[in-house]
A and B are shown apart, each in its own frame.
Chain A
Amino acid sequence: MATAAPQHQAAGTRPDQAADLGEAGFQAVFDAAVAADERIEPRDWMPDAYRATLVRQIAQHAHSEIIGMQPEANWITRAPSLRRKAILMAKVQDEAGHGLYLYSAAETLGTSRDELLDKLHSGRQKYSSIFNYPTLTWADVGAIGWLVDGAAITNQVPLCRCSYGPYARAMVRVCKEESFHQRQGYELLLALSRGTEAQHAMAQDAVDRWWWPSLMMFGPPDDESAHSAQSMVWKIKRHSNDELRQRFVDICVPQAESLGLTLPDPELRWNEERGHHDFGPIDWTEFKEVLKGNGPCNEQRITQRRRAHEEGAWVREAAAAHAAKHSTKATTHEGRAA
């Protein structure tokens, strides 16, 4: 990459100043901007590794939104009331929208949606491991809203202050909609929990299955997290995995109580001294297996995504061909007018 290309200006500097700075100077201006909590914007100079980290993280985030449509869309046609069906459809639609914001944010870093989708389809880029779990009952839709979206929000709210402007701004919009989804998921579970015996049991079973995978959404423990330290310095990340996981557990415990549901962890208890809940060990073997592609739905999720893309190829080609014909006509027409 031509890091010091003339059109790239260092954050907070005018082009005429930046031209004289050289690589080390750019780096210093960048570091100062990050330290001062200023936003890095697409045309600013940035370290190659910062750009690469952001592309990887934003792409993975975008991929998670679109793969994440599948486990919930699995229940659209079976939603048990028209109100719930409308809520679920709106949610899945929002997720496609989030995917669009995030691909756009990634594109400001010099990549393209097509390129990123290729990487997703060929397995070179990942999506959140949570979406490799199946939605077996209607209550799973509620558990996903409450726990999975809850974990996502805990992760994403700090990203609204991320040092990269386009990502931070995308997260502001995403978080507003996500908190709405989370409340709806909670309310769905509440209705089940207070419903018939069978509904209550369905809700409890879903929470039992989604609790641990939700805790895994915060990533590996801090001492095993490869990218954490650098991301914290760059202010892409604001809190460690374990800090956010702890925050999430502390939020969920009282919520589970008001739901009238239990969390599947015999070691979960309030620790007066720490001012936090202690909780049991996470099965990192399972986490690694899911990441490696051996989760319950990895194959199914990626196959469906690839199939949608492949089966839609003729539609995209038609749109492109039509646009090309149309723009040729427009140009010809303008030519004549001139």
Chain B
Amino acid sequence: MNVSVIVDFLIGFLILAGALLCLIAAFGVIRLPDVYTRNHAASKAATLGVMFILLGTFIYFYAFEGHFNSRLILGIVFLFMTSPISGHLINRAAYNSGVKLWDKSVRDDLKKYNSNLMDKSSAD
């Protein structure tokens, strides 16, 4: 088993695992009950999936074409930074516009915090 075969398997594994993670994210978005859990599935699994696919593409072009494509590395870094932030912003916009949590949710610390803040501001 020489290096080229190992690289082949690594590229195949990365691309397929990335595609599988994206598929799992899509299933999560369909199957999960409310905005917050859906966003949890979409922003985590899809980020890692797309990063795997980009890494596989990068290794492919580096190993077979000898082309160091720094834009793919930049894309991985950029995606890793932006995707969780967009998930956070969507979730926060949903919470602030009053989207209800799932019926079986047991904890809502932000609600307690917000009502404490309201009491304090009304007492002033």
Asked if A and B bind, the verdict is: no
Binding site for A on B (CB under 8 A): none
